[in-house]
Structure 1
Amino acid sequence: MDFTFTEDQLALRANVRSVFMKEVAPELLRELWETDTGRSAELWQLVTEQGLTALSVPEEYGGLGLADIDWVLMAQEVGYYGLTEPLIDTAWVGAALIAALPESAAAFKDVWLARIAHGEAKLAIGHPLNPLVENAHVADLLLLNHRDEVHAVPRGQVTLTAHASLDASRRLFAVEWTPSEATRLADAEVGRTLWADALNRSVLAVAAQLSGLVTRVLDLAIDYTAERKQFGKPIGSFQAVKHLLADVAVELEFAKPALLRAAVSLANGHSKTGLHVSHARLALADTATLAARHTMQVHGAMGYTWELDLQIFMKRIWALAAVWGDKAFHLQRVADHVLASDTVLDPSQTFAA
């Protein structure tokens, strides 16, 4: 069995990485923090031109019809560069939810999937696990959960109240709205499955972004330790500093397989997808918080200052570690499996699966 990515998948990631490296610089992120929306029409046009808005849209609606595994690679790049645009909620989670709607919503799917594929629509997603909705202020459409029903509500039909975030790139809003037959796309019976899939996809997206963020803060810390000198030597030559960063690198290598297994499980409808994405989320969140702590320690008191790029990505780590379920929620999902009376935990079960 081949567990490696295909040449096409790696080429797509390499292309996205080269574009983000040039266009999504920390200086731009700082500038966007100071704007009213915190978003950039130019950046949205950029991701549209790269075809990223069409990745999850089925081919019959003008998209590429790619799978969750392809998106994991993209989400890692989104995390690494701190992209602020609502790409993941729109083109991955939102597009997948709309594509899975029942036949009764066929006309809705025809319109909105085509708009998503062409970069003509931005989505925001409201779920009970997230009382505040990110990007609601720039969304053309909000996909909202009401007692497991799926509702699609234009931004003009909701009232938004802004809430501050530790991460200034995240724009969060309390959303007031009135459910109606006109906005309902799926009843609770159908919606329960759709929202379960959207939850797992969103959790996986957070885990993948955290993976990218860990790599980014490690890169920043390694560069800093090569430049900063004490006693005439780069501080990266000191064993204590090496251990701080090595601990993070080791944790990341152990967390990556959990992330990739979760992606494969989601893409193939595995019966334990919820378990796998929560495991990945727990592993990456723990790794990311360790990375934030150790890389800030390597930088010393400067690590949290505005002038250093490190603070941009540390704040994003801390913010993402609290969305789409906290640690207790994901630990409970894992515990429900581990402590079940019919669960068999041994290597033969793992490799048989």
Structure 2
Amino acid sequence: MRFSLTVEQAEFRDAVGELLAKECPLAAVRAAWEAPPGSLDRHVWRRLDEMGVQAMLLPEARGGLGLDECALVPVLEQTGRCALPHPIVETAMVAAPLGVTGFVATDLGGRFVPCAADADVLLLRADPTLRAYRPDEVEIVAVTTVDRARRAATVTAVGEGTLVTDDPADIAAAELRGALGTAAQLVGLSRRMLDLTVAHVTQRHQFGVPVGSFQAVKHHAANALTRIEFAAPVVLRAAYSLASRAPTAGRDVSMAKALASDAAAMTGRTALQCHGAMGYTVEHDLHLLMKRTWALTRAWGDRAHHAEVVATALEGER
């Protein structure tokens, strides 16, 4: 079985990547750290909406593109590469298949809700259901986290909201899509951190030669690349499992999230070490990527949780 992209999927991914490279530089991510609650710049969000990214999983009958996870996951990798400070996973991967559209924030990924004060709609657990709330139906308390571009908050419902689903299978599927979308973003983050590192060690000279020519530096970079290239196809496999409603979808998504988290964590450490002292300064763009990595490896289930899911699934298959 092959999990390579079709020509159309690759072309759309590349088009989104080109847009994000132009419209969402890391300076825009840094600006999101300082923007007041409710004042996140949506310029790039509108451009993505014009391309149909937020509605890729929405049926054509409802104005969407009617695509599946195999098409969306490569696009989400590009949003991870630029550390997009908008809830694209929550909106495109989680909410849209449930029929919830707009700029969506949700608590399905954890206790802290990214972009809560900026959202048009808040998709929240109201056990045993999921309900959609207007901003005036919730109380939002901002919290300080390691990645301030995620603009996290705690959210408490004070209104009735609107029932989205009371089907446990729908909720479980939404959680899987959120974990998979986050895994895709972690792969993108890993690739960007490695690219920054390679550029740095190529330009940085010591003893009259680029530090990237040193064997130890080459080994660090090669090890990081190996982790990334091992995780990336597993993420695509999990996308296929969700799209095809495979019985192993839960196991496959957990494997993808665990391996993508491992790859991002190792690549971040490698990047920091290879950048030397400058890598420790908050002024360097590497910090924006590393801190996003730290946040996403813990969102939608941490590595320990997903490793346990995989182990339990494999034990049941014996």
In the aligned structure 1, how far is the partner of 2:64 from the partner of 2:30?
32
Tell me the CA shift for residue 91 of structure 1.
2.1
Q: Which amino acid aligns with 1:26?
A: L
Find 2:275's aligned residue among 299, 318, 334: 299
Q: Could you say what secondary structure the match of 2:148 adopts?
A: coil
How far did residue 293 of structure 1 move? 0.5
Superposed CA deviations along residues 46-65 of structure 1, whole A, max 9, x for unmatched, are 11122212211110011111
TM value normalised by structure 2? 0.95
Please name the residue that 1:26 is paired with: 26
Give the structure 2 partner of residue 239 of structure 1.
Answer: 215
Distance 2:128 2:305 in 1: 18
Given that 1:151 and 1:179 are in contact with CA atoms closer than 8 Å, whether structure 2 keeps it comes out as: no
> Equivalent residue for 2:105?
124
Is 1:278 the counterpart of 2:254? The answer is: yes
Is the Cα contact below 8 Å between 2:73 and 2:239 reproduced in 1?
yes
Matched, 1:165 2:141: no
2:190·2:267 contact (CA, 8 Å) conserved in 1?
A: yes
Conservation of the 8 A alpha-carbon contact between 1:57 and 1:96: yes
User: Which stretches of structure 1, 4 residues or more, deviate above 3 A after TM superposition?
Assistant: none
Q: Which residue in the other structure is 1:133 paired with?
A: 113
CA contact (8 A) 2:33 2:151 kept: no
* 2:86 aligned residue: 85
Q: Counterpart of 2:25 in structure 1: which amino acid? A: A
- Partner Cα distance (2:89, 2:297) in 1: 16
1:168-207 alignment, distance < 5 Å:
168-178=148-158, 180=160, 183-187=162-166, 190=167, 192-207=168-183
CA shift at 1:14, angstroms?
Answer: 1.2
Per-residue deviation at 1:170?
0.8
1:102 corresponds in structure 2 to none
- Matching residue's letter, 2:98: L
Counterpart amino acid of 1:292?
Answer: G
Q: Which moved more, 1:331-340 or 1:212-221?
A: 331-340
| Counterpart residue number, 2:230 | 254
> Secondary structure in 1 aligned to 2:192?
helix
Give how far 1:11 is off: 0.9
1:178 deviation in Å? 4.1
- How far did 1:31 drift? 2.0
Question: 1:71-96 deviations in whole A, cap 9, x for unaligned?
Answer: 11011000001111222211221001
1:43 aligns with 2:44: yes
SS at match of 2:123: strand
For 1:23, give the aligned amino acid. Answer: E
Q: Are 1:265 and 2:236 counterparts? A: no
**Equivalent AA in structure 2 for residue 76 of structure 1:** E
Structure 2 counterpart of 1:105: none
SS in structure 1 of the partner of residue 122 of structure 2: strand
**1:5 CA displacement:** 1.3
User: How far is the alpha carbon of 1:250 from its aligned partner?
Assistant: 0.8
TM-score, with length taken from structure 1: 0.86
Contact 1:278-1:333 within 8 A present in 2 as well: yes
- Structure 2 letter corresponding to 1:94: A
Distance of 2:107 and 2:273 partners within structure 1:
36
**Helix, strand or coil: the match of 1:256?**
helix
Within 2, Cα distance between the matches of 1:149 and 1:3?
Answer: 34
Give the whole-Å Cα distance in 2 for the aligned partners of 1:6 and 1:339: 34
Correspondence for 2:68: 67
Is the contact made by 2:165 and 2:171 (CA closer than 8 Å) also made in structure 1?
no
2:283 and 2:113 mapped to 1: Cα distance? 29
SS of the aligned residue for 2:190 comes to helix
1:312 counterpart = 2:288: yes
Give me the whole-angstrom Cα distance separating, in 1, the residues matched to 2:256 and 2:187: 10
CA distance in 1: counterparts of 2:159 and 2:220, whole angstroms: 51
Greater radius of gyration (CA): 1
CA distance in 2, matches of 1:194, 1:75: 21
3-state DSSP of counterpart to 2:218: helix
CA contact (8 A) 1:40 1:85 kept: no
Q: Which amino acid aligns with 1:195?
A: I
Contact 2:86 2:150 in 1 (8 A): no
Q: Which runs of 5+ in 1 are unaligned?
A: 99-111, 345-353
User: How far has the Cα of 1:97 moved from its partner?
Assistant: 2.2
The alpha-carbon deviation at position 2 of structure 1 amounts to 4.8
Q: Contact between 1:159 and 1:177, CA under 8 Å: does it hold in 2?
A: yes
User: How large is the Cα RMSD of the aligned pairs?
Assistant: 1.5
Contact in 2 for aligned 1:214/1:287 (Cα 8 Å): yes
Question: What SS class does the counterpart of residue 56 from structure 1 fall into?
Answer: coil
Tell me the alpha carbon deviations over residues 250-291 of structure 1, each in whole angstroms, 9 at most, x when there is no partner: 111111221111010011111111110000111110111010
